Structure 1
């Protein structure tokens, strides 16, 4: 089968959505499928700018990128991930059909890429839309909703996104849960021996809830002065981060596993909305109990009272209270962490690839992970 994945851009730093696509590309290539991953130089988003002058300037930039892409070398590499040698990685000038190869299957991965894919001729392949989030944070709701209402075959990564697609379009979507790479993320430090250490991903996007998470950590430290926290992210250390919290920028995967997740007894996820929430699942595979906001994505793998605590979003005080409760009960914390490992084992790359191929082959949909 010839498969084309389309990502919105080629990034110099890891992204969750990109990582999943590259993992699928590698796995599919390893079993003999012909796989290509395309990244446009521009998505022509100039119309989203406010004001005529800014729109015209953005249009000029988009046109320059398009023309530059026509003369640039198109083969590319993913700087932060090892790719199967058979996977072709390309940067194309734009996502116009003339730059997209003919294939059996073509897969959009962001609302703007879906706008292009839905208009492709049949020669580009059967059209799929891998819905990884409700992306109104990156575009106007009417355009995001328009892609979810389209006739493309939808694949969702979580139950709540499946419900959203059903509500908007009336369609039942295939569900393919995001996998954990169990060759990379596993327990290396005794769960029972771990002390009061909490880890958290930082992002400057308000909806990621980092300010809520920091507030919750401060609340917990007032009760447990010996508490240590490890925060990681892709940006420089934020000024808002208290001095006692350790910050790690762009940790390598081994560091993320051994120095962050395996050093922690609890992983804190304060996001208000997540399509899935892969870092939380990775932390679970490494033996962390979870304290999280009910952001949608975590509902498929965090069960409140079984492997963590789930509180309403935008409620930093309740996040802090949940942290305090779990930090003060080592027996329960250890039991939650052990259950996390068991739950995480259900989410493997092999199982997800099987479900993805079943969707491509037109097999009946299943709403269950």
Structure 2
């Protein structure tokens, strides 16, 4: 919600506007040309607004394939599946070709492709402030409540890396509080240094002094943290399944692996620890790759998508008056 956004974004009160229910949102968006849901749970709200007025473009920015989040028989899974067709004239769009293709193939609905964003004001390569005496610093995100991120496999792998590759490595984890980690994996929680739950700026600080970012998720619809790591000069190891191909090229700026195999992930890290020249080459290419992405590029791609959709429906081309605030979003920050 808005409080979480305030913790993550210094300008949250300029960027986000809270609302209190459907009536309040209806009033706040009365003069808006586009209203976008960013989570499957709020698509129904945009649909109800559409039923009340027909002079705006209803849209859904699909962040992930959300039916994967739940057991097949769960009510949330059904709601997520239904969200793709919930608004008959709605525009669906996503930031990766993988996600566009998956939804199009499984649900027979078109999904427009827009550009991913990257905030270079926060995530950027600067002076690499290393105090690890030449050791390769490997960082992984551990989120026990998100099974598709394979938190236990990540923790087990980090522990193995620091044990078998010592003294040439240092490992760090972040993404959850220590007490949550102790409940989740009591035998391993104390073996890997855990930095806890971090803000965006704190994540950037950690990535800025890391060498390798490890993501062994079962899949990534996009994998934003890996791209942010690249912008900070960190070589990522990412899953083969999903949308990481938007930025990751195996052996050039990243290692793209089969994350069902712990051995494949361990060998990828071992290879980079043993071959510092290759590691540095990947890091340099990672920074160059990240430069292709920006908040402005993403915003323009979304605007062009909205304008084209508007024009295709015979409406006026969108304009953005200087005194107009951003269109309201009925979901979570992208």
Q: TM-score range by the shorter chain?
A: 0.7 to 0.9
- For residues 150 and 302 of structure 2, the distance between their equivalents in structure 1, rounded to whole angstroms, comes to 31
In structure 2, the CA distance between the partners of 1:280 and 1:133, relative to structure 1 (3 Å rule), is same
Of 130, 139, 143, the match for 1:203: 143
Contact 1:294–1:311 (8 Å) recurs in 2:
yes
1:215 aligns with 2:193: no
- Displacement of 1:112: 1.6
- For residues 225 and 59 of structure 2, the distance between their equivalents in structure 1, rounded to whole angstroms, comes to 25
- For residues 239 and 13 of structure 2, the distance between their equivalents in structure 1, rounded to whole angstroms, comes to 40
1:146 aligns with 2:87: no
Structure (1 or 2) with the greater strand fraction: 1
Contact 1:13–1:234 (8 Å) recurs in 2:
no
The 5 Å alignment of 1:324-339 reads: 324-339=270-285
- Displacement of 1:347: 0.9
Counting matched residue pairs gives: 292
**Residue 113 of structure 1 corresponds to which residue in structure 2?**
42
**Residue 246 of structure 1 corresponds to which residue in structure 2?**
193
In structure 2, the CA distance between the partners of 1:149 and 1:187, relative to structure 1 (3 Å rule), is same
In structure 2, the CA distance between the partners of 1:234 and 1:177, relative to structure 1 (3 Å rule), is farther
Bigger RCO (CA 8 Å, 6+ sep): 2
- For residues 189 and 97 of structure 1, the distance between their equivalents in structure 2, rounded to whole angstroms, comes to 45
1:293 aligns with 2:239: yes
- For residues 140 and 161 of structure 1, the distance between their equivalents in structure 2, rounded to whole angstroms, comes to 19
In structure 2, the CA distance between the partners of 1:11 and 1:264, relative to structure 1 (3 Å rule), is same
- Displacement of 1:11: 5.4
- The C-alpha deviation readout for 1:130-186, integer Å capped at 9, x for no partner, is 000011215543332222234311110111111012213434322223311111111
- Displacement of 1:267: 0.3
- The C-alpha deviation readout for 1:264-299, integer Å capped at 9, x for no partner, is 110001111322111111110001111122241322
**Residue 168 of structure 1 corresponds to which residue in structure 2?**
106
In structure 2, the CA distance between the partners of 1:84 and 1:312, relative to structure 1 (3 Å rule), is closer
Contact 2:142–2:155 (8 Å) recurs in 1:
no
The 5 Å alignment of 1:9-158 reads: 10=1, 12-13=3-4, 78-83=6-11, 87=15, 89-94=17-22, 101-102=29-30, 103-119=32-48, 120-121=50-51, 122-123=53-54, 125-136=56-67, 137=69, 140-150=76-86, 151=88, 152-158=90-96
- For residues 216 and 2 of structure 2, the distance between their equivalents in structure 1, rounded to whole angstroms, comes to 25
Report the TM-score, using the length of structure 2 for normalisation.
0.78
**Residue 275 of structure 1 corresponds to which residue in structure 2?**
221
- The C-alpha deviation readout for 1:218-243, integer Å capped at 9, x for no partner, is 33233311221111114335122443
- For residues 246 and 188 of structure 1, the distance between their equivalents in structure 2, rounded to whole angstroms, comes to 24
In structure 2, the CA distance between the partners of 1:170 and 1:306, relative to structure 1 (3 Å rule), is same
Contact 1:269–1:292 (8 Å) recurs in 2:
yes
- Displacement of 1:319: 1.2
The 5 Å alignment of 1:322-361 reads: 322-361=268-307
Runs of 5+ in structure 2 lacking a partner? 313-334
**Residue 17 of structure 1 corresponds to which residue in structure 2?**
none
Contact 2:207–2:234 (8 Å) recurs in 1:
yes
Partner secondary structure for residue 213 of structure 2: strand
- For residues 120 and 148 of structure 2, the distance between their equivalents in structure 1, rounded to whole angstroms, comes to 28
**Residue 29 of structure 1 corresponds to which residue in structure 2?**
none
**Residue 320 of structure 2 corresponds to which residue in structure 1?**
none
